[in-house]
A and B are shown apart, each in its own frame.
Chain A
């Protein structure tokens, strides 16, 4: 079972590594009440708790924005790096290469990712670096007071009356095309779906890209916005129902296999995608991209797991690195012997 109860009736619920959920909490949020980002932080806390991830094994990485501030509001026991605007991917790449035994969780915004950070974002995707990349997507730059971002839909209107007439960048379609190996979209208001997706993301080895629509209550939650709570409630079209059974949970077989796409995850857990869109195959890249593009034309916001590949080598595999962290290799492994220098010198004579 995933959880056990501490002895004594009043004891808090403990997860399978014996920690109560408070050990996964962070500082008090300074974001606006009702901001979607806060709900995502809550789900991250739940997912990490339920998966029994050791907080000290997690690196929380971010860029700049309201979204990028949120790592301060969950998992205080985890190491955190709030870097510069749009550059979370490179910071995370370096950190993971230095210590590949850590779980990297990157939090970014739609501005942080799809405008200033686009260069680093697409190259991260190509490398399939093991990390979870979450875009807290509100269609605007929350921190700088609500300008449109590059994920805003055509026709979406700001409170000031400005209408967006440039096409949105679909970060999920990009991620699938460029090499991320777990790609999905969710909504901060859909607790159940987001939690299952986060848990599966934790179990995945490779780049996970989750675009989580996360309404900005202050600048983009009004009539005319396509990233408001109301709009999402009306237009959210789940492509599959996401179920997740952790490796340490009992696996019950009680489903109609024809309707469920079952994925065996790297750590032995199961991702169960109950098909809502007829015959959707989340391992078919071209179809996944086509489905997303068609949905965009129909003004539908598809959510769910769009694409998964559990076999593709990661960047670490490609670099053929030792399993131990480079950060703490002993000097005997990092400084070649005197004879090495002597032979080099001799060759130059």
Chain B
């Protein structure tokens, strides 16, 4: 199920998706095995995604900054009520309407914590065309496995421009539809509690509407609930659910795409970057090596929450440059929340946010100045 509201630069993604669905998701009888809905706004688009995800379908929407802002309240519901859904954000230049036809990586913090209260979401950060394809289906597996909304952040550069790409590889693994109880399984168990951590993985079992068992139904709500999905205002019941959600998010570190280490020659200086910054940074590292005889290491972050390898990478370097395309050093800020205090002081930022894709020379020059080379 795809629900969306037009916005540059995310419209191309939906248009291409719709064309492919029409081509490959029609039965021999001519019936659609999909639904695409042009919603009345982004609130409705994500509402439809969560409704469909709750009822058991894979559902997605695609938007850009202003749409993300409108999805805030529902994202929190998805997090707290534990409903799968995938939100693609093809980032453009903010704040506000900003420059709709220019690129940026400035929705990282707003998506990672979208909504009020203690809310957090997995964010996938593809860095190439091939990864856009791979993270596309990985996001659905992750959303259903973790029972939570998953954000996939690309940007205008990746989302609208033409690219040379490696061939996409057909996925060999079957879909992961997550922990869903059937009527037969429920019959054997006798009963179930929607939000109880029976397997120690911080993820409960869910039933889908229509499961033919008198004990299959449960009450989904964004208000305080206990592990049996009952309404609660009792401190310990509320807190137990919130703590389990925190544990679930912690586990996601190993479930999201791991970072890619391009160079780790045990240099003193390391670089961290993500998304479309990759190409410029790799060229810049060559320039730095050629022009300054300095070889630096580089790890590309591919998701939030951060994998342990990212912590190790920072720990094993003296200085770590975080290169990104926004004014406020959003990735560096997010890392600072996660790293130990003695690691935080190692971070330096190289920022580019004028709306044009980042280029190697900008990074090299900024690095040279900062290092006093």
Which A residues form the contact surface with B (CB < 8 A)?
A: 23, 55-57, 59, 61, 71-72, 76-84, 87, 89-99, 101-102, 119-120, 123, 319-323, 325-329, 331, 333-336, 338, 340-342, 344-345, 348
Contact B27 A320 (CB under 8 A): no
Decide yes or no whether B47 CB sits under 8 A from chain A: yes
What residues of chain A lie closer than 8 Å to B170, measured between beta carbons? 338, 341-342
Shortest Cβ distance from A319 into B: residue: B35
Contact with A along B229-248 (1 / 0, CB 8 A): 00100000000000000000
Decide yes or no whether B174 CB sits under 8 A from chain A: yes
Query: What distance in Å separates the Cβ of A270 from its nearest Cβ neighbour in chain B?
Result: 28
A99-B56, A123-B44, A345-B167 known; A94-B50 Cβ under 8 A: yes
Interchain CA distance A97-B54 in the complex, whole Å = 11
Contact B217 A79 (CB under 8 A): yes
Interchain CA distance A344-B20 in the complex, whole Å = 10
What residues of chain A lie closer than 8 Å to B171, measured between beta carbons? 335
A102-B210, A320-B32, A322-B27 known; A94-B52 Cβ under 8 A: yes
Interchain CA distance A342-B169 in the complex, whole Å = 9
Contact B47 A98 (CB under 8 A): no
Interchain CA distance A338-B219 in the complex, whole Å = 40
Contact A322 B47 (CB under 8 A): no
A59-B209, A95-B55 known; A326-B33 Cβ under 8 A: yes
What residues of chain A lie closer than 8 Å to B58, measured between beta carbons? 334
Which B residues form the contact surface with A (CB < 8 A)?
A: 1, 3, 20, 24-25, 27, 30-37, 39-41, 43-59, 73-74, 77, 165, 167-168, 170-171, 174-175, 207-214, 216-223, 231
Contact B217 A94 (CB under 8 A): no
What residues of chain B lie closer than 8 Å to A102, measured between beta carbons? 55, 209-210
Contact A82 B222 (CB under 8 A): yes
Shortest Cβ distance from B170 into A: residue: A338
Contact B77 A84 (CB under 8 A): yes
Query: What distance in Å separates the Cβ of B58 from its nearest Cβ neighbour in chain A?
Result: 8
Contact A94 B51 (CB under 8 A): yes
Contact A84 B210 (CB under 8 A): no
Interchain CA distance A80-B208 in the complex, whole Å = 11
A340 in complex: contacting residue of B24, B31, B47, B222, CB < 8 Å: B24
Contact A334 B25 (CB under 8 A): yes
What residues of chain B lie closer than 8 Å to A91, measured between beta carbons? 47-48, 50-51, 54
A95 in complex: contacting residue of B44, B54, B207, CB < 8 Å: B54
What residues of chain A lie closer than 8 Å to B231, measured between beta carbons? 72
Interchain CA distance A97-B122 in the complex, whole Å = 26
A95-B52, A335-B175 known; A120-B210 Cβ under 8 A: no
A97-B1, A98-B52, A120-B40 known; A327-B47 Cβ under 8 A: no
Query: What distance in Å separates the Cβ of A90 from its nearest Cβ neighbour in chain B?
Result: 3
**What would 12 A/B residue contacts be, using CB atoms closer than 8 Å?**
A79-B209, A80-B219, A81-B220, A82-B222, A90-B3, A96-B51, A96-B55, A98-B1, A120-B47, A322-B31, A323-B31, A335-B175
Interchain CA distance A259-B33 in the complex, whole Å = 46
Contact B51 A77 (CB under 8 A): no
Most A CB within 10 A of own CB, among B59, B210, B216, B223: B210
Contact A79 B218 (CB under 8 A): yes
What residues of chain A lie closer than 8 Å to B35, measured between beta carbons? 97, 319, 321, 326
Contact A90 B51 (CB under 8 A): yes
What residues of chain A lie closer than 8 Å to B45, measured between beta carbons? 90
Interchain CA distance A52-B147 in the complex, whole Å = 33
Shortest Cβ distance from A99 into B: residue: B55
A84 in complex: contacting residue of B36, B56, B57, B73, CB < 8 Å: B73
A56-B211, A120-B40 known; A80-B217 Cβ under 8 A: yes
Contact A93 B31 (CB under 8 A): no
What residues of chain B lie closer than 8 Å to A55, measured between beta carbons? 214, 217
Contact A328 B217 (CB under 8 A): no
Query: What distance in Å separates the Cβ of B182 from its nearest Cβ neighbour in chain A?
Result: 10
Contact A84 B222 (CB under 8 A): yes
Contact A333 B33 (CB under 8 A): yes
What residues of chain B lie closer than 8 Å to A72, measured between beta carbons? 219, 231
Interchain CA distance A319-B48 in the complex, whole Å = 15
Interchain CA distance A47-B88 in the complex, whole Å = 42
A89 in complex: contacting residue of B20, B25, B44, B213, CB < 8 Å: B44
Shortest Cβ distance from A322 into B: residue: B31
Query: What distance in Å separates the Cβ of B3 from its nearest Cβ neighbour in chain A?
Result: 7
A87-B74, A120-B47, A341-B170 known; A77-B52 Cβ under 8 A: no
Contact B217 A93 (CB under 8 A): no
Shortest Cβ distance from A88 into B: residue: B47
Shortest Cβ distance from A79 into B: residue: B209
Contact B222 A83 (CB under 8 A): yes
9 closest Cβ contacts across the A-B interface? Answer: A94-B51, A90-B47, A327-B56, A98-B57, A98-B55, A94-B48, A94-B52, A79-B209, A91-B51
Interchain CA distance A237-B47 in the complex, whole Å = 37
What residues of chain A lie closer than 8 Å to B20, measured between beta carbons? 344
A81-B220, A99-B55, A338-B170 known; A56-B213 Cβ under 8 A: yes
What residues of chain A lie closer than 8 Å to B43, measured between beta carbons? 87, 90, 119-120
Query: What distance in Å separates the Cβ of A152 from its nearest Cβ neighbour in chain B?
Result: 25
What residues of chain A lie closer than 8 Å to B211, measured between beta carbons? 56
A319-B35, A322-B32, A329-B33 known; A94-B220 Cβ under 8 A: no
What residues of chain B lie closer than 8 Å to A23, measured between beta carbons? 214
